[in-house]
């Protein structure tokens, strides 16, 4: 079984591609793929001001994903504070992506740092179209697969009939 995690921008891509979303749901139902997420993705989606878009993305997130705790915590980097006390693992990070190397003080990337660190511990593939995040993960020599949404679609096309 392939274990996936989406960066928050992946939910936009799923909403914009109903066939891709249907294929992913089918693979999840068939236990070919498992999609994991943290409270971070839901928090970022919850901050979207467009109500219909926010509800559509939250629906995808809540019906597709299994929730897991983040690998570490980040505080005071966004208006919703990023980490939730009871949804974060405490202690040293256990994956091969360092939050400190993703999150820089000059940028507001605490969300990306938590997603990447957690993905490196919990899943086979992180799906993101964020080039900066992809480059920072690659620079660490991580063993996690980092796919674009287009690469995920190609993968799913190889597993499901056209």
> What range defines the domain where residue 114 resides?
2-157
> Dihedral sign, CA of 89, 122, 29, 111?
positive
Residue-wise pLDDT tens digits, 71-99: 655 545 444 445 544 555 545 555 544 45
User: What whole-number distance in Å separates Cα of residue 100 and Cα of residue 97?
Assistant: 9
* 138 inside domain: yes
* 10 inside domain: yes
User: What whole-number distance in Å separates Cα of residue 52 and Cα of residue 150?
Assistant: 25
The total number of structural domains in the chain stands at: 1
Q: What is the mean pLDDT of the chain?
A: 80
Helix axes 51-64, 18-29, angle to 10 degrees: 20
Cα separations in angstroms, 62 against 57, 90, 151, 152: 9, 25, 23, 20
* 135 inside domain: yes
DSSP string, 25-90: HHHHHTTSEEEEE-HHHHHHHHT-S-HHHHHHHHHHHHHHPEE--EES---SSSTT-S--GGGEE-
* 102 inside domain: yes
Per-residue pLDDT band at 143 (split at 50, 70, 90): confident
Residue-wise pLDDT tens digits, 27-36: 999 999 999 9
Least confident of 22-31, 37-46, 75-84, 132-141: 75-84
What's the CATH code of the domain at 22? Answer: 3.40.50.1010
* 124 inside domain: yes
Give the residue with greater pLDDT, 67 vs 50.
50
pLDDT of 25 reads: 95
Give the residue with greater pLDDT, 112 vs 107.
112
- Which of 26, 23, 21, 63 shows the shortest CA–CA distance to 45? 63
* 162 inside domain: no
């Amino acid at each position: 079984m392939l274990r996936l995690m989406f960066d928050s921008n992946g939910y936009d891509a799923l909403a914009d591609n109903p066939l891709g979303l249907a294929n992913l749901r089918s693979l999840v139902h068939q236990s070919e793929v498992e999609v994991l997420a943290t409270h971070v993705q839901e928090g970022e989606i919850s901050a979207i001001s467009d109500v219909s878009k926010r509800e559509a993305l939250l629906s995808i997130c809540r019906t597709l994903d299994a929730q897991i705790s983040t690998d570490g915590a980040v505080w005071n980097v966004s208006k919703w504070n990023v980490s939730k006390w009871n949804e974060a693992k405490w202690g040293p990070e256990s994956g091969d992506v360092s939050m400190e190397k993703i999150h820089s003080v000059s940028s507001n990337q605490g969300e990306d740092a938590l997603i990447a660190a957690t993905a490196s511990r919990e899943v086979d593939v992180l799906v993101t179209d964020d080039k900066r995040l992809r480059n920072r993960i690659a620079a660490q020599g991580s063993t996690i697969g980092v796919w674009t949404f287009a690469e995920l679609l190609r993968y799913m096309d190889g597993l499901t009939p056209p």
